[in-house]
Structure 1
């Protein structure tokens, strides 16, 4: 889930300075079970079970059953984050992936619409699709994921998103830095070292960030939690879909020590390249992208802190120990950026 050493051009749907969002004026408290029931009823769905909240903080997602005992998932989008056009691009991308026989959770069409409105909320209805946890250390499963990622990126390369943003320094570094500078959450005794090391991290990333990038449509948040296993991978949650480089959907699947990551990377890309070419020059961006995600994540938590769900879910975020740990994390990430990038195993 940015800040500025560079000027901002005014608020966008993802801008931490957007009206009401930055000041914490919006929360989901008004999204009561009654409101959810009436919203579903407005599109002809009568919920009969209670609404079971699923793991989502940016939006609100609930599983329920209708009067015929069919299970669904309803997703209420956080207002002021995405525009209708941006949400519909997400839905169109998921439809295109399903049309290409890629297992992707995609919203249902009701009255020929996938995006619905009720009392200021926007929502979408999905079939309830269960599955086991994807085992990132299982190389057989990782190989199958690699094949599907190659196919996903072939579809994604057909044309870019027109309305969704592109992963870059403005949204993921500069805007987060500005927001963190304005927050009251960083202990005063840490401010100097925190921003000194953050700026050093930003400079290292800037030095490695490519000027020219061939961006495609991406899943954007392809971590193991967004892949279920049902005799093969099922990809879920395109909420963070953006334009970007293919390696963005690969690096978050790597874990463990360096030698383990290299083995995982080799498994992923060998399978990936059965269906799509991969520019290995992008591998040098794994650590810059990790740095972007690190800074963006802490700014996302700060931005959402006025939502009552966040202090409950992330109580450690407002403690000095967390911010002390981030100073250390900046130093460690700078060291990672100074190492040789990951590369594929030699082919004999």
Structure 2
């Protein structure tokens, strides 16, 4: 954990910032942490018979979230978008690392950011076990690690013709919340702003779907774009019923009927799970998620013929950083 010292009015060194804001309580005996924050590396102990699932995401101010977003929401969101990848694999969250780059060390911002990050880390079971703090343009890199039983992980390539397509929760809230924020809405209790600023990674749902779903992906770049990844990896086509899409609360009121439907199809930042599963597994899957207080909605089915039917093909492959155009999503413009 060595990096350039971050200057601040309070003369905090990098190590002082880590000690004050990002050093958790000593891990318990079941945390799987042999050595945590404070050394060159952390030493982790995966459970016997489990595979490690590892993912990393970077959040950049003004690109992935608004520069004036509340600090605690930024902390929550930075971790949530990475945890969502674990959810899509059906993995249980265990540990996380964070690399934080700041232009300056603002104590009030750091206090809020660390509070939001650590609150979600505690709830999700992802212990913060190391990281880095340095000076530069504000960016947050979060690596998450989870565990899943051997040969049980959900992937993008397991879909088969005849499988049903379903989504957890509701869609369009991320895009709707971003649109409201850009219009000047600052009521942080608004359901769309909650969906955009504080997305909830569907970790419990992902675990519940292991053994039932044939393929899965989290909806970060938009439903059509992410479904396209599953279709490509699985070598199948699909038919969707756009009228079946579950719309986020307040979305129609904010964007109108047509705008809401478009947000659900192509808007990003929802972090719901898109899954395919054999028809005989659907009712059990829905019951398992209902026990978690989360709906599972049938929106289509896979077909042998390549391509997408029932809706217009997406105009792009979702947000891509090095192309001039793209759908708002995990990398969507804030």
| TM-score bracket for the superposition, by shorter chain length | 0.3 to 0.5
Comparing both structures, which one devotes a greater share of its residues to strand?
2
TM-score (norm 2): 0.33
Higher helix proportion: 1
